Structure 1
Amino acid sequence: MKVDVISTADLGDRSYLIAAGDTAVVVDPQRDIDRVETLLAERNLRCVVVLETHIHNDYVTGGFELARRTGAAYVVNAADPVTFERTAVVDGDTITAGPMTITAVATPGHTLSHLAYVITDPTDDSTAVFTGGSLLYGSVGRTDLLGDHLTRELTHHQFHSAHRLADLLDDATPVYPTHGFGSFCSAGSATGGDASTIGDEKRINDALTTADEETFVDTLIANLTAYPAYYAHMGPANLAGPGPANLAAPSTLGPDELRKQLDAGEWVVDLRDRTAYASDHLAGTVSIALGTQFSTYLGWLMPWGSSLTLIGDTPEDVTAAQRQLSRIGIDDLTGAATGSLDQIAGDHEHSHYPEVTFADPAFQPGSTLLDPEVTDQVVLDVRRDDERAGGFIEGSVHVPLHALLERLDELPAAQLWVHCASGFRASIAASLLDRADRDVVYINDNYSAAVDRHLTTT
């Protein structure tokens, strides 16, 4: 049995292709299934089973479409109220795929109907477990996605599910989770990494090393952080059986069409480097630099269903962004514009704002203001609440990035010097403030530099 990992770094998730002979099984495929289809074709494999560990909350699944295209059995928990035909399974059910045997194991916690799958191959005496959002590397999947009223119950379930897998399987059994590689679906101290086994998890996993169940439950719940707003739309989409990703190139917008979008206040997102954006950009645009966090923060901040236009240096940048967006169900772009800013801007107004670091002489250690003599400058911290709890810059105002658009009216009437932990979220916040005609200075630096300069409370 050979396991191929298909990583989706922008969402912190992994899908898996498991093969024995010419038969393949796919676990938790992302929506852009062309990656899976390429692997199948390259290795001359026939996909016969597609497994879903749970109804996903952080991405639109490609499982329904992959099963439709390949004729594979689409395996989903019988308890999930889907609107399509599937192979419904419950705890203990087994399915064969070539020489492989797949056993469904109920592992509630991340969701009420979560399943893990144990796959065995007698031809090489191998066994592996695909744990979805139950047992992750170092921790478990978060337990608050179904609402506060179920969080405590699900956290107890998660503790027992982790122990069930640890008791059921040999220490040498490889563990293959879907979440835990940067995904907001993970909780606790997920370690990421390339590989783990049941034995490894017994030594390091929070759920298996915390002896007292109530302590585990209380600690996990206390450490749950905010998660992206677009999650609310993923479950319903997956229950309906999502169609294929639309990766066709969007329409190219000229300067006049782009200006109409900006004048109408639509979302026009600039994918370019955040430093380049700060120095020169089209007024009214939003900066979300193309990278592994692009789709997460665009999906989190943009009102769902809004008109969206992308600006990029090249068509390839737009294509890469479009692929990321398709994974969270954002398919229909109004259009795109690529090339130099002068080429795409026409006579539309440009904007810019200063970019500094914590080494800027304006920062005064221990002061409640950037400069005690200047009262119209305020530091704005856009980190999450849990990050803020670990220390902050003296005198700073705190509004997490994901709440910024809703709380613009709460910000002081001052020049806002914006920071986060690394500069990425602050770049987005600075662009949103600039779009709202606020006077902004972008702090492009690591928070650790502020700590080193004794600007913080800890």
Structure 2
Amino acid sequence: MQIEQIYTGCLAQGAYYITSNGEAAIIDPLREVQPYLDRLIRDDVKLKYIFETHFHADFVSGHVDLSKETDAKIVYGPTAKPEFEAIVATDNQIFEVGNIKIKVLHTPGHTMESSTYLLIDESGKNHAIFSGDTLFIGDVGRPDLAQKAASMTQEQLAATLYHSLRTKIMRLEDDVIVYPAHGAGSACGKNMSKETISTIGNQKATNYALRANMTEAEFITEVTEGLLPPPAYFGMNVAMNKKGSQSFETVLNNGMRAIHAIEFESVADETGALILDTRNNKDFSKGFIPQSINIGIDGDFAPWVGALIADVSQPIILVTEIGREEETVTRLSRVGFDNLIGHLQGGFEAWQKTGQEIDTVNRITSEQFAKEVKIGESKIIDIRKETEYSAEHVEEAYNKPLASINEWIKDINPDTHFYLHCAGGYRSMIAASILQARGFRNFTEIEGGFNAIAKTNVPKTNFICQSKILK
């Protein structure tokens, strides 16, 4: 028996590849299936089952494509209603893969179909669980994502999750290994560890939600406290995972269509496409196609695209670094952005050579900021998360997290200048591009963000500015 955790850092997502005596199972596969097919050929094994822990909200699964390629059966837990051929298992149903067994444990709460898969090894011993979004390392799945579908409140779902954990998971042996679907950085929980493997015993000892004497009421309060609104694209990804989606190869072929710089603008206009520039923030600030939105590929790319563009049906036309077109298309497809028109042939350099209009962002260094800023007079917007801001920030700065830019942008007075920064420049350039695309040019973005500002003599504090409106 072999178990491989296939972890994708940009999504903080773990898929699992299991083999035993010539047969294989894959749990929660990503959308591009070729890496799994390559493993099957390498190991000379036949894929028997594709297990899905639930209908994922944060990424599009490769289950349907993988089943078509291998004839493997797709398996969901009880109450799931997929709109394609699949096995909807019963609680405690057992599936055999080579010399091992995989037992379905229905663990509703994160979603009502959520299930944990218990691997029983060749000797009949409980070896590991693949817990999906039911149990993370240091946390549990948030109970607010499936409220509408389940016709339940987040408190009712949390109560359901409480009993799932205590009647199904916490009763397992302490040495059973825990393999979750996500780690730190995922929006599917709020307190996940950077570790991606643990044991039941360790989680009983360290996970706040698994305290031995925790009451149901305490669990509900602690699990629901401090939940941020889920990204808007989550519901669309759930729908794609339930219905099935077009093949990854189709999406890839569309995105890999090279569009000449002379045609690029007219194609964007004709299709209503958003121009997404995935270059790094330093290069983008020096020059870009007007109205472009910058979300750098070298960062939390796909989650930010999902959070800020939101509508997965939005037509998108790409500007990428040369040679990174396929990587960009792949990462967009993972979160359901399938309506890709193509990419700028030859990258931004090709656009420059045509002599067409170029825009720039007014960016200054932290040293320039230190010379210019007048605390108490200058307007400063810090777009980091609330937790980052509350730890330390520039005195009198407003906290307006990037995730909610579509709300706070309405409060900006276009006649009042302000400074804009994040932690290191990645998020503030996203915000700068959105602001300029919507007609705001009354700001200065700070290179290096708060990390650079912290090294200057600009006054800093952890006192929270209560003002809400930028007038």
1:319-330 superposed matches below 5 A:
319-330=326-337
Q: Distance in 1 between matches of 2:359 and 2:238?
A: 39
Match of 1:230 among 228, 233, 241: 233
Kindly indicate whether residue 435 of structure 2 is the aligned counterpart of residue 433 of structure 1.
yes
Matched residue SS, 1:47: strand
Q: Distance in 2 between matches of 1:448 and 1:144?
A: 34
Deviation at 1:340, TM superposition (A): 5.4
Q: Distance in 1 between matches of 2:299 and 2:124?
A: 37
Matched residue SS, 2:423: coil
1:86-101 superposed matches below 5 A:
86-101=86-101
Match of 2:223 among 217, 220, 223: 220
Match of 2:361 among 353, 364, 367: 353
Counterparts in 2 of 1:81 and 1:435: CA distance versus 1, 3 Å? same
Counterparts in 2 of 1:412 and 1:262: CA distance versus 1, 3 Å? farther
Structure 1 stretch displaced more, 331-340 or 448-457? 448-457
1:225-374 superposed matches below 5 A:
225-245=228-248, 246-248=251-253, 250-261=256-267, 266-302=273-309, 304=311, 305-314=313-322, 316-339=323-346, 341-345=348-352, 346-359=354-367, 360-362=369-371, 367-370=375-378
Kindly provide the amino acid, as one letter, of the partner of residue 276 in structure 1.
Answer: D
Equivalent position of 1:457 in the other structure: 462
For structure 1, list consecutive stretches of 5 or more residues without a partner in the other structure: 371-377
Equivalent position of 1:191 in the other structure: 193
Counterparts in 2 of 1:267 and 1:406: CA distance versus 1, 3 Å? farther
Equivalent position of 1:404 in the other structure: 405
Deviation at 1:404, TM superposition (A): 2.0
Deviation at 1:344, TM superposition (A): 2.1
Q: Distance in 2 between matches of 1:381 and 1:147?
A: 32
Q: Distance in 2 between matches of 1:72 and 1:130?
A: 19
For structure 2, list consecutive stretches of 5 or more residues without a partner in the other structure: 464-471
Conservation of the 8 A alpha-carbon contact between 2:314 and 2:339: no
Q: Distance in 2 between matches of 1:123 and 1:271?
A: 50
Q: Distance in 2 between matches of 1:430 and 1:319?
A: 26
Matched residue SS, 1:135: coil
Equivalent position of 1:207 in the other structure: 209
Counterparts in 2 of 1:154 and 1:444: CA distance versus 1, 3 Å? farther
Conservation of the 8 A alpha-carbon contact between 2:170 and 2:200: no
Counterparts in 2 of 1:364 and 1:442: CA distance versus 1, 3 Å? closer
1:12-31 superposed matches below 5 A:
12-31=12-31
Structure 1 stretch displaced more, 76-85 or 100-109? 76-85
Deviation at 1:276, TM superposition (A): 1.0
Deviation at 1:20, TM superposition (A): 1.1
Q: Distance in 1 between matches of 2:308 and 2:371?
A: 31
Matched residue SS, 2:198: coil
Structure 1 stretch displaced more, 252-261 or 385-394? 385-394
Kindly provide the amino acid, as one letter, of the partner of residue 333 in structure 2.
Answer: S
Structure 1 stretch displaced more, 356-365 or 332-341? 356-365
Equivalent position of 2:426 in the other structure: 424
Counterparts in 2 of 1:381 and 1:211: CA distance versus 1, 3 Å? farther
Structure 1 stretch displaced more, 352-361 or 91-100? 352-361
1:381-404 deviation line (CA, Å, top 9, x unaligned):
323455555565433344332332
**What TM-score results when the alignment is normalised by the length of structure 2?**
0.88
Counterparts in 2 of 1:363 and 1:226: CA distance versus 1, 3 Å? farther
Kindly provide the amino acid, as one letter, of the partner of residue 460 in structure 2.
Answer: L
Deviation at 1:409, TM superposition (A): 3.2
Conservation of the 8 A alpha-carbon contact between 1:7 and 1:15: yes
Deviation at 1:46, TM superposition (A): 0.9
Structure 1 stretch displaced more, 21-30 or 189-198? 189-198
1:5-84 superposed matches below 5 A:
5-84=5-84
Kindly provide the amino acid, as one letter, of the partner of residue 155 in structure 1.
Answer: A
Q: Distance in 2 between matches of 1:390 and 1:221?
A: 23
Structure 1 stretch displaced more, 124-133 or 90-99? 124-133
Q: Distance in 2 between matches of 1:271 and 1:421?
A: 19
**What TM-score results when the alignment is normalised by the length of structure 1?**
0.90
1:87-109 deviation line (CA, Å, top 9, x unaligned):
11121111112211111112112
Conservation of the 8 A alpha-carbon contact between 1:250 and 1:336: yes
Deviation at 1:338, TM superposition (A): 4.3
Q: Distance in 1 between matches of 2:129 and 2:156?
A: 24
Kindly provide the amino acid, as one letter, of the partner of residue 428 in structure 2.
Answer: A
Conservation of the 8 A alpha-carbon contact between 1:61 and 1:242: no
Deviation at 1:253, TM superposition (A): 1.4
Q: Distance in 2 between matches of 1:441 and 1:211?
A: 52
Counterparts in 2 of 1:420 and 1:156: CA distance versus 1, 3 Å? farther
Counterparts in 2 of 1:402 and 1:261: CA distance versus 1, 3 Å? farther
Counterparts in 2 of 1:49 and 1:266: CA distance versus 1, 3 Å? closer
Matched residue SS, 1:256: helix
Q: Distance in 2 between matches of 1:197 and 1:218?
A: 25
Q: Distance in 2 between matches of 1:226 and 1:347?
A: 43
Q: Distance in 2 between matches of 1:363 and 1:197?
A: 53
Conservation of the 8 A alpha-carbon contact between 2:268 and 2:317: no
